[in-house]
Amino acid sequence: MNNSTNSQTSRRDFIKTTGRLAAVSALAGMAIPHVHAASGDTIQVALVGCGGRGGGAARNALSTSHGPVKLVAMADVFEDRLRGALEGIKNEHGAKVEVPADRQFIGFDGYQKAMDCLKPGDIVILTTPPAFRWVHFTYAIKKGLNVFMEKPVTVDGPTSKRMLGLAEEASKKNLKVGVGLMSRHSRALQELHKRVEDGEIGDVILMRGYRMHGPVGTAFSTKWPGNPAEVMWQIKRFHSFLWASGGCYSDFYIHHIDHLCWMKNAWPVKAQGIGGRHYRTDPEGQTYIDQNFDSYSVEYTFPDGGKMYMDGRCVNGCNDIYSSYAHGSKGLAIVSKSSDCGGPSSIFKGQNMQRSNMLWSSKPIPGQDDPYLNEWNDLMEAIRADKPYNEAKRGVEASLVTSMGRMAAHTGLEITYEDILNGDHEFAPGVDKLTMDGPAPLVAKDGKYPIPTPGRNKHEY
């Protein structure tokens, strides 16, 4: 999607079904190196980034039905997180965990040391904040490793372009890449997508996503206490800083944005939005200094003029909504009834969600009701059978579209897909050179960090 003509075509020809990926055409006619694991081989796994999703992804990897699998190395910049994750994973999967002290790596170079413990065809799990994704993905490709990476995978245009190039390189090396947008692996949403494609709600003209609840994660931070080093504190509280995570908008709202675009079979071409900061103190009266808005409302426009609205709020005491919807010319669909992709999904005639109007509702499939596990089973099946499988390009596009909406709200401008993709602003260009006691990409001034000011600043910090 490097020029307007190609991007329009790419959007129209958006992935039709999970697993039918752009890598297929990229691989056609190539001499492919055979580094995949046969059905009986043990696939070794290294975990880079041992926070909550890191530990969860490792558990999913070790729970796959396409074994045998063994966790052999771990890396993080925080020793307590590595130790805690290792203990939890061992308690659940003891026999599949073999991570002695000499394969536990602390520091910014730990990702290299962990991947060096693997052989070509093994898997590395990349679950650090997304600012580091391109750095780690580059080394994984160099080592010939299959990859599972968490979302979002980028937070700005320059790193998105970098990751798109890396995605092509991974396909050329026949590497399998999974991205943690697990909605695509929800069997309920897969069935709904097929029905929407078949015209059961008519032409999709409007979609709505809502994630509204109280403050969660590390999106709200008070003044840096002076210890640990500022860079380490920002990484530990990565949801608060745009350079590390894209803030709460990118990290929290990408799932709904991604699966609604999937239902539309298109990426939006532009976005405009609003947002605001309201209650900026914690219960003890300390002022929040993070870079997030408390509420967002973004309107996306698709090539055919269709609209998608994404509303987010992190404020206590309000009406909580955490669901998504697709409206068509003949009816509507509940895409996610609750959370990021919670079932059941359903279809109604007309635009009223009355039970008497319900035409279809998804049913659980035994053994396939966990999309987090499904995405791992799908990735492992591709590795074992040596099937083309690369979700990286789609992961970059979903991340870029999400950043497009965030930037629109933060600047007050209409932002196009080409604006964000071809923009030259990179939040942390030196992220590959960070040290544990060196300066942070963003330095506090008088204890505060720059915040989005729509209409005054035409860029993000």
Do residues 173 and 193 lie in contact, with contact meaning Cβ atoms separated by under 8 Å? Answer: no
Nearest by Cα to 440 from 287, 245, 241, 290: 241
Q: DSSP code of 123?
A: E
**Which CATH code fits 4-184+372-390?**
3.40.50.720
Nearest by Cα to 296 from 327, 257, 259, 340: 257
Give the span between the Cα atoms of 214 and 352, in whole angstroms: 28
State both tokens at 330: 């003949």
Q: What is the pLDDT along the chain (461 residues), one digit of tens a residue?
A: 333 333 333 333 333 333 333 333 333 333 334 455 655 699 999 999 999 999 999 999 999 999 899 999 999 999 999 999 999 999 999 999 999 999 999 999 999 999 999 999 999 999 999 999 999 999 999 999 999 999 999 999 999 999 999 999 999 999 999 999 999 999 999 999 999 999 999 999 999 999 999 999 999 999 999 999 999 999 999 999 999 999 999 999 999 999 999 999 999 999 999 999 998 888 889 999 999 999 999 999 999 999 999 999 999 999 999 999 999 999 999 999 999 999 999 999 999 999 999 999 999 999 999 999 999 999 999 999 999 999 999 999 999 999 999 999 999 999 999 999 999 999 999 999 999 999 999 999 999 999 999 999 888 98
pLDDT at 461: 84
Give residue-wise pLDDT tens across range 45-102.
999 999 999 999 999 999 999 989 999 999 999 999 999 999 999 999 999 999 999 9
Domain ranges of the chain: 4-184+372-390, 187-363+401-433
Give the span between the Cα atoms of 176 and 53, in whole angstroms: 20
340: three-class secondary structure by DSSP = coil
pTM: 0.91
- Strands 270-276 and 295-301: what pairing? antiparallel
Phi/psi region, residue 413 (left: phi>0; alpha: psi -120 to 50; beta: rest), is: beta
Do residues 159 and 134 lie in contact, with contact meaning Cβ atoms separated by under 8 Å? Answer: yes
pLDDT at 37: 66
Give the span between the Cα atoms of 436 and 235, in whole angstroms: 10
Give the span between the Cα atoms of 189 and 196, in whole angstroms: 10
Give the span between the Cα atoms of 433 and 259, in whole angstroms: 35
Degrees (nearest 5) of the Cα angle 239, 242, 246?
A: 70
State both tokens at 129: 């904040």
State both tokens at 7: 């991007």
C-alpha distance across the termini of the chain, in Å: 25
Do residues 153 and 395 lie in contact, with contact meaning Cβ atoms separated by under 8 Å? Answer: yes
State both tokens at 373: 């596990």
| CATH architecture of the domain covering 187-363+401-433 | 2-Layer Sandwich (3.30)
The residue assigned the tokens 């075509």 is: 9
pLDDT at 282: 85
Nearest by Cα to 383 from 3, 104, 2, 34: 34
- Strands 295-301 and 346-349: what pairing? unpaired
pLDDT at 265: 98
State both tokens at 109: 């170079």
